[in-house]
Structure 1
Amino acid sequence: MTAEVKRLKALAHKVVDVHRLSFRFGDVFMEFKGFQLAFRVYTMHNVYTLHKPKVEKYHDKMKVKSREYAYAGGQKKCSGLFEATLVEDEGSVLIEARAEHDEVIKCYGILLKDLEYGKILDTDWSFKDPEGVIVFSYPWIWLSMTRYLPSPIFFIEHLGKEYTFALSLDDKVRPKRFRVVNHGRKLELALFHEEDARLMSTHLESPPWRIGRTKKPELVIEERMKLMEEKWGLKPWEIRDDVPSWARRVCLVVNLHFKHWTGYAFNTYKTAAEALNWIAERISGENVLVYMPGWDGRYYYDYPIMEPDPELGGKEGFKQLIEHAHSLGMHVVPMTSAVAVGFSHIEKLGFKDAIVMDKYGNRLYENWVDWDEDGERDNIWYPVNLGHPAVKKYFIDKISSLIDEYQVDGVFLDICHFYENDPRYSFYEGLRDIIASLLSKYKGKILIMGECWYDALLPIIPMTHSHNLMPKNWPYFYLKYARMTYHLSWPAPGSGSTGVHEKGFGKFELPRLDAEIIPTLTIVDDTLTKYRDQAEKVIEIAKEWGAKRGIL
């Protein structure tokens, strides 16, 4: 056994936290244009495969039809209907399917077996060896066991730079998943389309999937980009009308931290103004965007009140800070969460009915952050659905009031990439409606920023700060339309404090001059008292970065 075969076998048998069936399910595989395929249908109660499907093959087409399902490893049968059409199209295969069942259908899957081994696409669009079983999802379901993909595109990279690919041609925001099973020298890839939970019924019609082999993966990427532009109206960064002119001149973002969840204050409005003075002495204010987490009280505790904190300087102090920043030529974008309502506010605001549900009707809770360092997660806020009419109105009114009263230059919506297939409302549509309402009043003046991204967010959020999610391959998929800064948790000079963020401490690094990520300077309590030399280096890099890109 060669070393390479041993390595592949070790990867195949690596234990990962993905659940699988413990018996042979009895899938019926059929061949078309070099692919071995089978189909499954998933209801709210069970999973089914086709029983004795009728297969009709033509030169460039195959039709599959079954009036009966098998399940429980073939031990049981039930009636239903499944139809699929596979068509050869420009060297690839287009697959469309429809299903009927007595039970409500949530999802259907295409299983592809005996695929040539290769490295698989990862979250950041780099390639990695597959380990055991791994599942990717688009959009990333809240607290899912899966990994995140920013678009419903998947590649397996073979030797010689040839790729097996799968692409969903869905123009709606509905869940897609890609499951890879490593069998050693061969891979299995399963593609899943899940219906919008609001529309789930005993019938399902799937949008097309395109699968194939290619030596030009950029053509697959560009097909998705074409859909985004034609169906969603997505336009290049340079001509977007939701990007104010000042935002195109930014070459330094200041992550200016205020109050931690515990109440610890990294800055007050007064010390923040002093920090901006220091920065303005070293770089023109018109090239600076000031991003402010924790400005409105205890981070993630007081959301979504969106009012200046009395202990930090109150309303008058906050107003003076914004006016002072503007006098320096800077623009200011305060942070709020797109999804969180603190447990002490949920009933006061009347939002309990808006708590997000999964497709089974279960309410969801925030449950991954240990805010107080006692070794256990703290469920101190609820995720609410922005599609809920009362929540949508509240966010529009509060953000509008913030802009009108304090003249801030935009808003940062944290966890904007939140997704859950709620059977009552669409979080994505609610987010889109809120942003559309704000832009109808303030277009050309304000910038909408967000945390992470997936492709359907690009038409509504032109700037994010998810630097770890810049695509390693085909970065133009993002950069054609939007810009990116370093994350809220980007460590500060010196100790590497992440400010209000739950990571605590990291390693301070200078921003990369060659990265298409806007240089970012994190300001906490001791940044400019102890580590000015490091902060100055960040600013120098920002100026050089801007000069190289024609901004300065």
Structure 2
Amino acid sequence: MKKLCRKQTTIILSFGLFLSCSNGPGGPGNFAFQGLEFRVEILCDNVSYTVPLNAWKRESSGHDYPGLRGKLTKFIGKSVVEVNSGETVKGYVEVWFGDPRYGNFLESWAGKLEDWNAPPIEIDKFADPPREGRMMFDIRAQVPDMIRSIRVTVDGLPQGKMMTYSGETDLTVPGNRGGALTNGAQVFALQAGDRWMSLGSREFPIPYWTALLEARENDVRATFTSQLWKAYESTWFNTHLWVMEWFPSLDDLVEKHRYEAIETKQALRTFDHRPDAQKWVKDMRLWVILSGRGWLHEVPYDEDFYMKHTYEEMTKRLHDIAKYYDPRKTVLYIPGWEGHYDTITPRYAPDPEMGGEDGWKTFIDTAHEMGYHVVLHFDPWCVSFNQPEYWTVQEGSWHTQFPTMGQGSFGRMSTTNFTSLDYKPWQDIFVERVERAITKYGADGIHIDQANNYRNRNQADMRKYDSQRGFFQAMHRIRSKHPKVLLQFENIVENNIGMSPIFEWGPGDDRELTPLLKKLFYPYVRVVGHLRTSGPHGEGGACFMWDIPQELADSRVKWMKMNNYIPTMKIANAEIDLSTPQSQQYFEWAREFDAKLKKGESLY
């Protein structure tokens, strides 16, 4: 086949589906799915295809399965496809309903792609219908060109309210839309009347997908996209298994997902029984963000970029905090502990201008003697051009418009912006730095910044490297060698909750977190305030580490109380007075939180 101009390829399959269930709660007439219409698109590169559609036929695998009336069946389409150039190529698509891995099958139909005159497909039997009904499907495609993604559009879903782990959307108003992606939870919910439908997947590690629900005049359209990352580019793609399932309540929906996708697949126990949560982690009642130095001092950026605390000042802070709260229940998280911060990624060693190794040793020894535990900030992705490793790790780096050589926006100065942990030289460097912080500099825990960035298609989608695989490998290396050290992550994401019992989170405003997030994750983890949301949030919806949270203590404490965060207090600089009423609110809240847990009150 000759080379054509480079453009996106779209192969389109369309079919109607009628699915009903008469034996769920409510008896006959309680339809689980009704009148759904499906559209499948395979998006590729290099060429544009047009696909003639034909009537569907039923095809059986010839195998019997317990609980299934008849044979295992599948949708299968085979087509002769016309290419823009006039040449003819062959490709095929399979659409399976049911789960061929676990024997839970629906009786289904299949068809050839010759002509599209068939009536809507009807399915009226479930193999083993759970609760109010479940439909599962996956797509398999083989085409001549590299597949980038497979998109499934489902029309005919009922109008209602969409709930994701980060927000809610009213889908009774035509034009309203809401999205979900696997950076958060791999399931989201649609409430229609008094019933709840879960949509998503239950696989682990979670494949990358996005979903968009849009309200139309009389129904809701769902668009699911499964993406094939460049590291695995191929002309063949089998998506993960999509699941749509009805439940009588949100609690039932969450219970099912937690059991099938979290506890079973990740072998995860609840927070109080997690072996990776040491006693001091479970006893923590106050999380103090004690700012080191924010930026390299030679960057002429803004007058607010000044030294926050030297090591001597940080040592004095230990005694200040102890006047008001028990150090044994207090954990200190120190961004800028090495004199830099975040995505300019330093060498991760004590900063000479802050007091050097002697000053750091005095601080860390004093902290441990008093009963504090200390968590140090690390960013696993970005490497500064002023570090010798910069040139070593170019092979595994993704370049955006940066490096900006000190002229860019927040957190992006002088960096490649993303270096994959799947690139072995960088993974070794990063793990060695973490181990040095633990063994030489006394870290009790390591904060992993941007812990969900391996799922960021704009950065992590590299042709040679699987950044999710590299991230998991690096975290496993650290945990296996230092099992008593806390790995503490930024951002709650379902893929990561098996690796960390403490997450930093904050949407950036005063809203309450959704019941879906709390019910799904809070049994397994506890949450601390984000650097940018434990203080005032300005026009950008967040505050940064140089802000003074005590100025807005009333709203910040109220917001984090509402969401049952571990009390989080940010001491931004050496000028903060901990004796003021604003500062005292954080200590009072820590005492209230302690009393709540002693009473056995639920956080979700």
AA aligned opposite 1:438: I
Change (3 A) 1:493 1:374: closer
Partners of 2:83 and 2:407 in 1: CA distance: 46
Stretch deviating more after TM superposition (168-177 or 310-319): 168-177
In structure 1, the residue matched to 2:16 is 30
In structure 2, the residue matched to 1:5 is none
CA RMSD of aligned residues (A): 3.7
TM-score (norm: length of structure 2): 0.75
Stretch deviating more after TM superposition (426-435 or 267-276): 426-435
Partners of 1:200 and 1:228 in 2: CA distance: 28
Note the 1:497-536 alignment, pairs <5 A.
498=543, 500=545, 507-508=552-553, 509-511=556-558, 512-525=560-573, 528-529=576-577, 532-536=580-584
Note the 1:80-159 alignment, pairs <5 A.
80-86=91-97, 87=106, 88=126, 90=129, 91-129=133-171, 132=175, 134=177, 136=179, 138-140=181-183, 150-158=184-192
AA aligned opposite 1:253: W
Q: Residue by residue, what CA displacement relative to the aligned partner does 1:53-97 show, whole Å, maximum 9, x if unpaired?
A: 442469898742222277999x99853111112224511211132
Note the 1:157-306 alignment, pairs <5 A.
157-158=191-192, 160-225=193-258, 226-261=260-295, 263=297, 264-300=306-342, 302-306=344-348
Shift in Å at residue 347 of structure 1?
5.2
AA aligned opposite 2:326: S
Find the residue that maps to 2:598 and give its secondary structure.
Answer: coil
Stretch deviating more after TM superposition (126-135 or 220-229): 126-135
AA aligned opposite 1:221: V
Structure 2 residue 461 is the aligned partner of structure 1 residue 461: no
Structure 2 portions without partners, runs of 5+: 1-6, 20-33, 60-68, 98-105, 107-125, 298-305
Note the 1:475-486 alignment, pairs <5 A.
475-486=518-529
Q: Is the 8 Å Cα contact of residues 53 and 64 (structure 1) preserved in structure 2? A: no
Q: Is the 8 Å Cα contact of residues 77 and 92 (structure 2) preserved in structure 1? A: yes
TM-score (norm: length of structure 1): 0.82
Find the residue that maps to 2:576 and give its secondary structure.
Answer: helix
Stretch deviating more after TM superposition (467-476 or 370-379): 370-379
In structure 2, the residue matched to 1:17 is none
Change (3 A) 1:224 1:366: farther
AA aligned opposite 2:577: T
Change (3 A) 1:302 1:364: closer
Stretch deviating more after TM superposition (537-546 or 510-519): 510-519
In structure 2, the residue matched to 1:387 is 422
Which of 522, 543, 547 is the aligned partner of 2:591?
Answer: 543
Q: Which runs of 4+ in 1 moved over 6 A?
A: 58-62, 69-73, 369-377, 493-497, 501-506
Q: Is the 8 Å Cα contact of residues 66 and 82 (structure 1) preserved in structure 2? A: yes
Q: Is the 8 Å Cα contact of residues 13 and 53 (structure 2) preserved in structure 1? A: no
Change (3 A) 1:301 1:126: closer
Change (3 A) 1:493 1:186: closer
Partners of 1:247 and 1:289 in 2: CA distance: 8
Note the 1:358-373 alignment, pairs <5 A.
363-364=399-400
* Structure number, greater radius of gyration: 2
Shift in Å at residue 334 of structure 1?
0.9
Note the 1:408-427 alignment, pairs <5 A.
408-418=443-453, 419=455, 420-427=460-467
The aligned length equals 511
Find the residue that maps to 2:154 and give its secondary structure.
Answer: strand
AA aligned opposite 2:215: N
Partners of 2:336 and 2:170 in 1: CA distance: 37
Shift in Å at residue 546 of structure 1?
1.1
Q: Is the 8 Å Cα contact of residues 236 and 481 (structure 1) preserved in structure 2? A: yes
AA aligned opposite 1:202: T
Note the 1:46-61 alignment, pairs <5 A.
51-56=52-57
AA aligned opposite 1:457: N
Structure 1 portions without partners, runs of 5+: 1-20, 141-149, 357-362
Q: Is the 8 Å Cα contact of residues 96 and 206 (structure 1) preserved in structure 2? A: yes
Stretch deviating more after TM superposition (521-530 or 489-498): 489-498
Q: Residue by residue, what CA displacement relative to the aligned partner does 1:464-501 show, whole Å, maximum 9, x if unpaired?
A: 11133985113131112111100012345999994536
Shift in Å at residue 414 of structure 1?
0.4
In structure 1, the residue matched to 2:397 is 355
Find the residue that maps to 2:440 and give its secondary structure.
Answer: helix
Partners of 1:72 and 1:531 in 2: CA distance: 74
Q: Is the 8 Å Cα contact of residues 577 and 583 (structure 2) preserved in structure 1? A: no
Partners of 1:134 and 1:224 in 2: CA distance: 24
| Higher RCO (CA < 8 A, seq sep 6+) | 1
Stretch deviating more after TM superposition (510-519 or 468-477): 468-477
Stretch deviating more after TM superposition (204-213 or 96-105): 204-213
Shift in Å at residue 137 of structure 1?
5.1
Shift in Å at residue 202 of structure 1?
1.5
